[in-house]
Every structure is written in structure tokens, then in C-alpha cells.
Amino acid sequence: MVLASQSDLITDPEILIARYRNRDLKTRLVTPPYLEYIFSSDRLAEIGRILAGQAAPPNTDDRPVCYALTTWIWLSRLMPALAHQNVSGWIQTALRYGWVAVVFIILVCGIGMNRLAAGGGSLAYAAAGFAGFGGMMLESAMMLHYQTQSGALYQNMGILFMAFMFGMSAGAVAMLNLMKRLRGRSVSRSVDAMLFFLPAAVCMGWAVGMQRLSDALNLILMAALLAISGFGVSAIFTRYAHESGHPRPLYAADVAGGGIGALVCGVLLFPLLGLSRSVFLLAGMSIAAGIGVALSRRHNS
């Protein structure tokens, strides 16, 4: 429930108690003595002074500090020793040095793709899994961001899902036509790198979408970005499935990557890093993967 008022909220317990009695309310928890206790307690003024004296930025989808603190409160019920730990300091340290983990993940992604491309055998499975992971991450982030920015749950969700599915169809058709034109020749490493760069391009468009746009422009931008995301996911899968001639295991890898992406994003990345940082992490991983594939010495599927 969200309450709003054009004037300051009343904190005088006598006025609130009088309204309670005039309306003859019958409630279990909120009673006149409870109202007297809440609004006459010294804690109310003390908490107000503490909050007014702090200059910390608010909790937002891009800086979800409350999630970590809520998790700490919940875990302290199971492990009481956590209640006496400086968890807030841990969170600040993690946010301050989180870039080290980000750089490490990006380097592992780039080096791993480079080794797989040089070896040739497992690149197709890794690429399909990465496509599923990135597609799920982008789709989830943009859906959540659009609903948050528009202020309405499920608004225009059908249009956005349609844009993603349209992009997947277009990516499959475009890649099949390209493979037919090559007539059995292998796709160049530069083409593979461009496919991996597509999620990074979507992430750059995301930076524009984070600005305050009109409702119509925001919908058009989100639909376009989702269509490009779907295009990249389907193009990568179709490229390797067509060349290998064994689409079923690649489809399994693609679905597994999407499942892992949904789990990792929902449990770790979005709540801890926020939407924007998670998306930019994917951009770095995509660029590193594309460069790793492009610089590989041998490229066979």
C-alpha cells in the first residue's frame, strides 16, 4: 500500500485518536494507546534527527542497499552472532572494491572464449550458453526498468515481449540467409565477434534509456533494445547450430544459460549490484568475449 498527501502528515496523537474514535474503527493492532505510544515516544524524534543528519543517497534499483541489509536482518534470526557484526561496513567495502571482481569476471570471460575458440570443440556450446545468459539478463533488466520507470505493473508487457520474439525470428532468418550465401564456408571470426558485441551495443542503448524520456519514446526505445537482444541471441544460436548440424545439444546449452542467467540475476546481480551495474557488467563480458573470439588463432566449430 502506498499513501500520499499534498500536505504534511499529522503526527499529533490527539488528533489521530479523535479521528479513530469518531469513525468508530475496530482494529486489533492499531488502537488509541498504540497511537499514543508511537507518536509520543522519544525514539520518533531521535530517528528523525538521525535521518536528517545523514547525507547517504537513497535506496534505488541502481543502488539496492536495503536488500543486503534486509538479508542480514533475516540471517541474524538464524545466526544471532550476525546481529553484532558491522555488516553495513562490509557492504560499503564490497561496493568500494567490487570493481576488482567485475574486472576478474570480464577477464575470465574473454580468456575463456579465446581458449575455446582456439580449441574449437566447445565454443559452440559456450556461445549458445552465453547467448541464453545474456538474453535473459537483458530481457529481465529492461522489463524491470520499464515497469519501474512507467510506474505501472505489466504496462505494455505484451508489446515488449513481442519485440523480443520478433528480434529472435529476424535473427534466425538473417543468419540462415548468411549461412546459405557462404555455401559451406566457415563464418569469419569478425562476424562472430560482431555477434558477441551486440549485447554490448544494447547496454549502451540502456544508458540512454536510463534518462527521463517521454512514455512513448521510452516504450519505443525499450522495444528496439529488446528486439536487438532477441536478434543477437537467435543469431548466435542459429550460426553455431547450422554449422555444427546438431542443434539439440546447443538448444540445451542455450536454455541452460538462460536459466542460470535468471537465477544469477534475480538472486545476486540485480539485488546486490543494481540494474545498471549488472547490465554494464554484461557489456564488459560481451566485449571481452568478442575480442577473445576475434583474436583466437584457430577457429573451428
**Local confidence pLDDT in tens for the 301 residues of the chain:** 566 777 888 888 899 999 999 998 888 888 999 988 888 888 888 888 887 887 777 777 777 877 777 878 888 888 887 777 777 677 777 767 777 888 899 999 999 888 888 776 688 899 999 999 999 999 999 888 888 877 677 778 899 999 999 999 999 999 888 888 876 566 667 777 888 898 888 888 877 666 666 778 888 888 999 999 999 999 999 988 887 778 889 999 999 999 999 999 988 888 888 888 888 999 999 999 989 888 875 544 4
pTM over 0.95: no
Q: Angle at Cα 181 formed by Cα 180 and Cα 183, nearest 5°?
A: 65
* Burial bucket for residue 17 (CB in 10 Å: 0-12, 13-18, 19+): middle
SS3 155: coil
- Cβ atoms 230, 175 nearer than 8 A: no
Instruction: Output Rg (C-alpha) for the chain, integer angstroms.
Output: 25
SS3 146: helix
Q: Which residue has the cell 545439444?
A: 249
Residues in the chain: 301
Between CA 116 and CA 240 the distance in angstroms is 14
Q: Which residue has the cell 577477464?
A: 107
C-alpha cell at 39: 507518536
Dihedral sign of CA atoms 25, 30, 35, 36 in order: positive
Q: How much is the pLDDT for 301?
A: 40
C-alpha cell at 213: 524520456
pLDDT digits (tens, 9 = 90+) for 255-272: 999 999 999 998 888 888
Domain coordinates in residue numbering, the chain: 1-55, 87-294
* Burial bucket for residue 38 (CB in 10 Å: 0-12, 13-18, 19+): middle
Between CA 181 and CA 213 the distance in angstroms is 41
CATH architecture assignment, domain 87-294: Up-down Bundle (1.20)
Residues 6+ apart with CB under 8 A from 186: 243, 299, 300, 301
- 91: number of Cβ within 10 Å: 16
